[in-house]
Amino acid sequence: MKRDFISMFDLTKDEMHEIFDLTKRLKESQKKGVEHKILKDKTLAMVFEKPSLRTRVTFETGMTQLGGHAIYLAPADTKLGTRESVPDAAKNLSRWVDLIMARVFAHKTVEQLAKNAAIPVINGLCDLEHPCQVMCDLFTVIEKKGSLKNITIAYIGDGNNVCNSFIAASSVLRFKLAIATPQGYEPSKNYVAKNKTTQLTNDPEKAINDADIIYTDVWVSMGQEKEAEQRKKIFMPFQLNKELLRTARKKYLIMHCLPAHRGEEITDEVIDGPHSIVFDQAENRLHIQKAIMVWLSQKSS
């Protein structure tokens, strides 16, 4: 039976841990220079409606390290929904390649791809979720803290797709999650309803008080450029800076999914400081996505 990875809700607790364990093994192999051509002669189609540094480089590099090949399809190459319908594109790609990764604007697009493709589809980002990023983040927390047991993650900023994926992940893995957003910028009500243990507040200090991990993201995502100046004013009290972090636990760790708008949601001294694991986190996008591709291929065979 074909498996897709569209949402954090697509995986059980055991399946998430299977992928984390596989990520650890693949990362160790890569570091030791041990070949792991598990997807030899397989092809990944990378469908992009939004540009990205980390998503493209990590998926393409990951597929190469696994012995396969990745094809980059830029927005002008596909024009999903205009030049060709999403279902037709999915059916065509299913005849040629073995996996699809889609970084798109609308969640509906990636859902349609998964529904109509005969091969696994991976959500590389959409407006509702960013599941590969959050799988990467949780693997990084496990690396640094040993496990997710008794861990509290504080998410500070915009209740966006990354925030939604954290809520979904928390409902499955049962780690503690505190979210602080400005009023009117809270995460999806549907996601919050599925995880009633999530702590929601409009006070960033309250969210970080008991946090082991303090996480932020950009205040202005692609497609929100017209709101940029207004958002910067509203979100400024949520900036991760030395003053805000003065009440945090001594051994807190800072995370950011990148790209960072330095001087907006996070200051230089925080992202480059001793508590930051931001670039360790970014490296792990490569390893977790390799594991996701391998896992989906094996489950769908």
From 175, 216, 213, select the one nearest 197 (Cα to Cα): 175
Comparing 78 with 245, the larger pLDDT belongs to: 245
Q: Mean pLDDT throughout 77-89?
A: 90
Per-residue pLDDT at 217: 98
- Torsional class of 184: left (φ above 0), alpha (ψ -120 to 50), beta (otherwise): left
Per-residue pLDDT at 144: 98
Residue 228 lies in a domain: yes
List the beta strands (DSSP E) in the chain. Answer: 43-48, 69-73, 99-103, 121-125, 152-156, 176-180, 199-201, 213-216, 253-256
Residues 6+ apart with CB under 8 A from 278: 254, 255, 256, 258, 260, 271
CA-to-CA distance for 198 and 189, rounded, in angstroms? 12
Domain of 268, in residue numbers: 133-281
Distance, C-alpha 60 to centroid of its chain: 16
Sorting pLDDT into bands at 50, 70 and 90, what band is 225?
confident
Within this chain, do residues 198 and 275 fall inside the same structural domain, yes or no? Answer: yes
Within this chain, do residues 175 and 259 fall inside the same structural domain, yes or no? Answer: yes
Q: Mean pLDDT throughout 60-81?
A: 94
* Tokens (6 digits) for 129: 């979720």
- What pLDDT digit, counting tens, does each position of 163-201 carry? 999 999 999 999 999 999 999 999 999 999 999 899 999
Q: Indicate if the pLDDT at residue 224 is higher than 80.
A: no
Within this chain, do residues 102 and 235 fall inside the same structural domain, yes or no? Answer: no
Within this chain, do residues 63 and 21 fall inside the same structural domain, yes or no? Answer: yes
Q: Indicate if the pLDDT at residue 20 is higher than 80.
A: yes
CA-to-CA distance for 296 and 146, rounded, in angstroms? 25
Total domains in the fold of the chain: 2
Residues belonging to the active site: 103, 130, 133, 217, 257, 285
End-to-end CA distance of the chain: 7
Q: Mean pLDDT throughout 122-142?
A: 98
Q: Mean pLDDT throughout 86-104?
A: 97
99-103, strands of its sheet edge to edge: 69-73, 43-48, 99-103, 121-125
Q: Indicate if the pLDDT at residue 284 is higher than 80.
A: yes
Residue 65 lies in a domain: yes
| Cβ-defined contacts of 200-205 (< 8 Å, 24+) | 204/156, 204/180, 204/237, 204/238, 204/244, 205/244, 205/247
Angle at 78 between CA 97 and CA 220, to 5 degrees: 110
Average pLDDT of the chain is: 96
Per-residue pLDDT at 82: 83
> Which CATH number goes with the domain that contains 266?
3.40.50.1370
Within this chain, do residues 169 and 152 fall inside the same structural domain, yes or no? Answer: yes
Indicate the annotated binding residues for L-ornithine: 161, 217, 221-222
Per-residue pLDDT at 301: 77
Per-residue pLDDT at 7: 98
Q: Are strands 199-201 and 69-73 parallel, antiparallel or unpaired?
A: unpaired
Per-residue pLDDT at 124: 98
Within this chain, do residues 147 and 110 fall inside the same structural domain, yes or no? Answer: no
Within this chain, do residues 197 and 120 fall inside the same structural domain, yes or no? Answer: no
Within this chain, do residues 166 and 195 fall inside the same structural domain, yes or no? Answer: yes
Within this chain, do residues 115 and 220 fall inside the same structural domain, yes or no? Answer: no
- What pLDDT digit, counting tens, does each position of 30-64 carry? 999 999 999 999 999 999 999 899 999 999 999 99
Residue 109 lies in a domain: yes
Q: Indicate if the pLDDT at residue 148 is higher than 80.
A: yes
Per-residue pLDDT at 212: 98
* Tokens (6 digits) for 148: 């997710």
Q: Indicate if the pLDDT at residue 118 is higher than 90.
A: yes
Q: Mean pLDDT throughout 78-93?
A: 92
Residue 3 lies in a domain: no
CA-to-CA distance for 67 and 44, rounded, in angstroms? 11
- What pLDDT digit, counting tens, does each position of 198-220 carry? 999 999 999 999 999 999 999 98
Which amino acid makes up residue 70?
A
